[in-house]
Amino acid sequence: MTNWKDSSKLAVVTGSAGIGLGVATRLLEEGFGVILCGVDPADNKTARERTAGKPIEVVQLDVSREGDVRAFAADIAEKTSRLDALVNCAGIQPYGTIETTTPEAWRHVIDVNLSGYFYMAHFLYPLLKACETASIVNIASVQGHLNQNNVLAYATSKGAIHALTRAMAVDCARDRVRVNSISPGSIRTPLLEFAARELTPEGGDMEATLAEFGASHAAGRVGTVEEIGAMVAFLVGPESQFCIGGDFSVDGGLKAQLGV
């Protein structure tokens, strides 16, 4: 690990695979030191390998556990006096309707996808406020606006992130901390590939299923983590200082195109 404390800007990013890793990689290119938080040891190992030699620290953290996040924030506060950016990406997507989603599954999704965002922002806020030009970006989803079948808990959590972002933006602007969200469409991540495998008939081609996902977007394809990273880089950068409380679609025209 190259010491992130030598960097002039520091970002904390949650989720060490998929969008989270893509965002961390882009922020490293933008000159940030990065602390990348992930719950899965295998994903964390892969993230360390892919970012070797960069000013990044990959740490084990379950964002759904209040005490763990509190301790993480206290540890960071001992090492730095300010934080320039927090990007909340960690999330899970189980399937289920109001009938098939168990109370345990419901609580787990809300704990990770929503409470995790709150805990990270709450406990790191003193460092963000000290920066005076800090930015928080919450990764939401198009499913916070429009929904597929069988994703009750996930869609609910993403819609709540939109509301959380607006509320935070109004409160935090007085401290010169800007808060925005991003709503991706279908982005090629391990999570999307899992969904494609689940929906691909036995003996079928997962790539064909991914192509079908892409066909529902006006762009005719699924998106990339690099494209989400580019939007994050804009939102935490100096050219977005008038962007407060917005939700930015990176969805390949998915919401703009009628599926008929």
pLDDT digits (tens, 9 = 90+) for 177-188: 999 999 999 999
| Residue-averaged pLDDT of the chain | 95
Pair 70, 55: CB distance under 8 Å: no
Residue 209 lies in a domain: no
pLDDT of residue 54: 97
pLDDT above 60: residue 225: yes
| CA dist., res. 31 & res. 29, Å (int) | 5
pLDDT given for residue 210 in this prediction: 93
| pLDDT for res 2 | 64
Whether the CA torsion 201, 206, 216, 16 is positive or negative: it is positive
CATH number at residue 166: 3.40.50.720
pLDDT digit string, tens, across residues 142-169: 999 999 899 999 999 999 999 999 999 9
Overall domain count for the chain: 1
Instruction: Confirm whether 199 is domain-assigned.
Output: no
Q: Confirm whether 172 is domain-assigned.
A: yes
- Half-sphere exposure (CA, 13 Å, Cβ side) for 240? 23
Give the pLDDT of residue 198.
Answer: 83
206 pLDDT above the threshold of 60 = yes
pLDDT, average across residues 44-61: 97
Q: What is the dihedral angle through the alpha carbons of 246, 249, 250, 252, rounded to the nearest 10 degrees?
A: -160
> CA-CA distances (angstroms) from residue 224 to 23, 29, 145?
11, 17, 20
- Pairwise CA distance, residues 242 & 260, whole Å: 37
| pLDDT for 98 beyond 90 | yes
Instruction: Enter the tokens of residue 149.
Output: 């079948």
3-state secondary structure 2-30: CCHHHCCEEEEEECCCCHHHHHHHHHHHC
Q: What is the DSSP letter of 37?
A: E
pLDDT band at 1 (very low <50, low <70, confident <90, very high): low
155 neighbors 94 (Cβ within 8 angstroms): no
What is the token pair recorded at 31? 């000159």
User: Does residue 78 lie within any of the structural domains?
Assistant: yes
Residue 189's identity, in one-letter code, is T
SS3 call for 123: helix
**Cα distance between residue 27 and residue 8, in whole Å:** 12
Q: Per the domain annotation, does 171 fall within a domain?
A: yes
201 domain residue, yes or no: no
Residue 256 placed within a domain:
no
Q: Taking the model in full, what pTM does it have?
A: 0.95
Domain enclosing residue 164, as ranges: 4-185+223-247
